[in-house]
A and B are shown apart, each in its own frame.
Chain A
Amino acid sequence: MSLSTDLSQATPPNGKPGAGKAGVRKPGSGLAGDGSGATAPAPRRRTRQSRERLFQWLFLVPAVVYMALFFGYPVVKNVVMSFQDYTTATFFTGEAPWVGLANYAKVLSSSLFSTSLLNTALFTIGSIAGQFVIGLALAIFFQRKFPLNGILRSLLLLPWLLPLIVSSAVWRWILDKDSGALNRFLGDLHIVDTGVPWLTSTSLALIAVVGVNIWIGIPFNLTILYGGLQEIPDELYEAGSLDGATGWKAFRHITSPMLRPVVSVVLVLGVVYTLKVLDIILGLTNGGPANSTQTIATQSYALSFQEFKFGEGAALGNILVIISLVFAVLYLRASRRAVDE
């Protein structure tokens, strides 16, 4: 993402002195005063150029309008709603009285909040760690040349391309206590005697959900990390092997530093996406049993769309946005550094 290069390219003067970007006009270029007049283009050129500019904007306008309506508006609306007593009644009466911070107070003080905050943290950290480690191992594995390498690699993309709710449905059955394939497999091997209640036990459900989410995220990590590995020039490894750096040493001193920009992008993107995961948890456990897989995202959904407390749902949603924003800042810094390096 080359934000900075785009901006530094001088925009042509647009015929409106003083309105141009600060960086366009070179300071100290010999113009006295405000500089208007001296460089003003002829009127005809001016209209042509502003028409040109108008045209350029017209290409962007639909996208800007869409982004404003489907991202900007929801964020603003959520902030407003979070200060209102916004319930089903609002849809009939049209009234949503202001309640200040009451929604936040209610949400934060509920005993469920600490549970879902902890679950969100465990779900995110567990998923990211698993996806990343396995994805990296597979990426390194696929660096060797062997027959069927390419086909196998793209087949492994399948878990990532399937609709999440499809994966949930399949896993829900595989993990089923009585008829699930996993328990049958473990039973056949005599590892367990009775069915393990993967999704219905409060102590196992979160682990199971994390496991499924790892499965879903591996292909993404694999693909991006594999791409990153391909970018590392072979000469580095050749030079390294002359100095005796092979195997683990080569990984530590060549692969790992060269891969760092890609890694930071993968990790932060992963965190941001995992924080808002909803499909998988709703499909597998619906947040249960006894809220043991409830995260901030699923709880926000439950508040808004099951209990119809839209104000509280919005408040919780905003808390999630703030957490994501922290990582968004990290992401932007990471991706900028990735470009600079």
Chain B
Amino acid sequence: MLFPVYWMVNASLQPNGTTLETSWLPLKPDFTGYATAIREQGGNLGTSLVISLGSVALSLAIAAPAAYALAYFKVRGAGIVLFAILISQMIPGIVVANALYTAYNDLGLLNSIPGLILADSAHGIPFAILIIRAFMNGMPASVIEAARVDGAGHLRAFWSIVLPLSRNSLITAGLFTFLFAWSDFLFALTLTTTEAVRPVTLGIFQYIGAYVNDWSSVMATAVLASIPAIILLVAAQKYIAAGTAGGAVK
């Protein structure tokens, strides 16, 4: 199961060159692949980082209040919103991209970072709403009621009581939103046409689209592009378990 991951790391540490035979072990680690990767893809990695962070900020700003409303207020239409979220998961990205391309073209949002942040949040926002709402459902209502009785307004109760209490679910949602945006390929592929704004996923695609004779640089880029996933796995195990289960079943 983990061999491909090993192979990626192994190959990224092999010396460049025309040799067809990559040794099974990186006995003589060589970092030229990484040097090339950073030289050629460093900017793209930066672009991905900006887009992903932007997408996390946007997703949480939109999803957290919505999740609160859905969990607490019993708003009329809450069922419809949840239903829409479920249905939205069934819409193929290519359909969204097809329509966004023409709209973005008119709005001048093609090849722009805000454009990609907005589009990439399409993965994050519905997911974040579900995760945060599932958590808030389990939060004791009495805490909020107490704050309200003490005269806190809705905004204040939300900001200084609900959000701090939901920290874990916000982190979970944020981490996954980051990963979704970081991994996005379809919107990068369709909504950018020049090199001005190019996430690293698209950079890799162009690497492997051309005839590849320098696999160690490609694999080095792949390793660099995997860092968020690896950090997530190492640093945030419990959040992942919560997210995987929460996103699918709850």
A residues lining the B interface (CB < 8 Å): 1-3, 6-7, 9, 11, 14, 21, 53, 55-60, 62-64, 66-67, 70-75, 77-78, 81, 86, 90-91, 154-159, 161-174, 178-179, 181, 184, 215, 218, 220, 223-224, 227, 262, 265-266, 269, 272, 275-276, 278-279, 282-283, 286, 297, 300-301, 304-305, 310, 313-314, 317-318, 320-321, 324-325, 327-328, 331-332, 335, 338
Contacts and interface: CB of A to CB of B under 8 A. Distances in A.
From A59, A86, A155, A170, residue with most partner B Cβ within 10 Å? A170
Contacts of B249: 224, 227, 262, 265, 335, 338
B160 interface: no
B74 A6 contact: yes
B31 interface: no
A108 to B, nearest CB: 17
B94 A278 contact: yes
Contacts of B94: 276, 278, 297, 300-301, 304, 313, 317, 320
A11 B232 contact: no
B233 A163 contact: no
B222 interface: yes
A173 B244 CA distance: 29
A278 B186 contact: yes
Contact of B75 (A56, A66, A70, A154): A56
Contact of A1 (B62, B87, B96, B250): B250
Contacts of B240: 154, 157, 161
B95 A158 contact: no
A224 B249 CA distance: 8
Contact of B244 (A55, A81, A220): A220
Prevailing SS type, chain B contact patch? helix
Interface of B: 1-5, 7-8, 11, 20-22, 61-63, 65-66, 68-70, 73-79, 81-103, 105, 118-119, 121-122, 125-126, 129, 137, 154, 158, 179, 182-183, 185-186, 189-190, 201, 204-205, 207-209, 212, 215, 218-219, 222, 225-226, 229-230, 232-233, 237, 240-241, 244-245, 248-250
B69 A70 contact: no
Contacts of A2: 137
A290 B129 CA distance: 42
Contacts of B85: 67
A71 B81 CA distance: 12
Contact of B92 (A11, A58, A227, A276): A276
Given A70-B118, A75-B91, A283-B205, A91 B68 contact: no
A310 B98 contact: yes
B90 A154 contact: no
Contacts of A67: 81, 84-85, 88, 125-126
Contact of A304 (B63, B98, B126): B98
Given A6-B79, A321-B90, A223 B219 contact: no
B45 to A, nearest CB: 12
A224 to B, nearest CB: 5
From A71, A167, A269, A300, residue with most partner B Cβ within 10 Å? A71
A48 to B, nearest CB: 12
A224 B62 contact: no
Contact of A157 (B65, B121, B226, B233): B233
Contacts of B88: 67, 71
Contact of A179 (B22, B68, B87, B101): B22
Given A62-B61, A166-B225, A170-B219, A56 B99 contact: no
Nearest to B80: A64
B105 A162 contact: no
Given A70-B96, A278-B93, 5 more contacts: A159-B4, A166-B204, A224-B249, A278-B94, A300-B92
Contact of B245 (A81, A224, A301, A318): A224
Contact of A272 (B75, B89, B125, B222): B89
